[in-house]
């Protein structure tokens, strides 16, 4: 069985006015709201699924998807929101090995499944901070 990795995806709901698109590297990722800003959209992103990546790598991939989506909307910052707790996905693995003990008693050895995080979800706001349009934030 082969497990394929999927690319990160992002979506938005406009709550304000979109601006002209900017380069993703001009978008700041912040965790505290600045004093003044204009909200452009609510953003959601999910990392791709992979058994080979760490939770931090999947989180970073999802944040990168938020940044790309915000840049398309002309936002110069993403305000991360941490209201969701990641929910694990269930990987079903059923392995059974019928055997017998040394005195001939039938014995079924095996294990079933475990919870793992295959992807990470993040939520944030695409915002425009007028003061940051011409200077780098502190």
Spatial neighbors of 39 by CB under 8 A, at least 6 apart, are 15, 16, 125, 126, 127
In a domain, 102, yes or no: no
pLDDT in tens, 98-124: 555 566 665 544 444 444 445 688 999
In a domain, 55, yes or no: yes
Enter the tokens of residue 134: 């011409």
CB distance 46 to 95 below 8 Å: no
Residue 59: the pLDDT is: 86
In a domain, 93, yes or no: no
Which residue ranges in the chain fall short of pLDDT 70?
1-6, 50-52, 83-119, 134-138
The whole domain housing 42 covers: 11-86+117-132
Q: What is the DSSP letter of 9?
A: E
State the residue for tokens 């079903």.
92
Q: How many domains does the chain have?
A: 1
- 77: which strand partners? 28, 127
In a domain, 72, yes or no: yes
Answering whether pTM is above 0.75, one says no
Residue 55: the pLDDT is: 82
Spatial neighbors of 33 by CB under 8 A, at least 6 apart, are 79, 127
Separation CA 13–CA 31 (nearest Å): 20
Residue 99: the pLDDT is: 56
In a domain, 111, yes or no: no
Separation CA 79–CA 31 (nearest Å): 6
In a domain, 44, yes or no: yes
CATH of the domain at 77: 3.30.110.70
In a domain, 103, yes or no: no
Separation CA 131–CA 17 (nearest Å): 18
């Amino acid at each position: 069985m082969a497990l394929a990795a999927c690319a990160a995806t992002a979506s938005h709901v406009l709550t304000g006015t979109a601006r002209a698109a900017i380069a993703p590297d001009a978008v700041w990722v912040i965790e505290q709201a600045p004093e003044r800003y204009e909200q452009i959209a609510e953003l959601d992103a999910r990392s791709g699924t992979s058994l080979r990546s760490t939770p931090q790598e999947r989180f970073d991939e999802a944040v990168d998807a938020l940044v790309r989506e915000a840049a398309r909307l002309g936002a110069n910052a993403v305000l991360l929101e941490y209201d969701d707790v990641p929910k694990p996905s269930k990987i079903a693995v059923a392995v059974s090995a019928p055997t017998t003990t040394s005195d001939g008693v039938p014995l079924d050895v095996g294990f079933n499944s475990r919870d793992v995080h295959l992807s990470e979800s993040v939520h944030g706001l695409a915002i425009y901070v007028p003061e940051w349009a011409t200077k780098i934030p502190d």
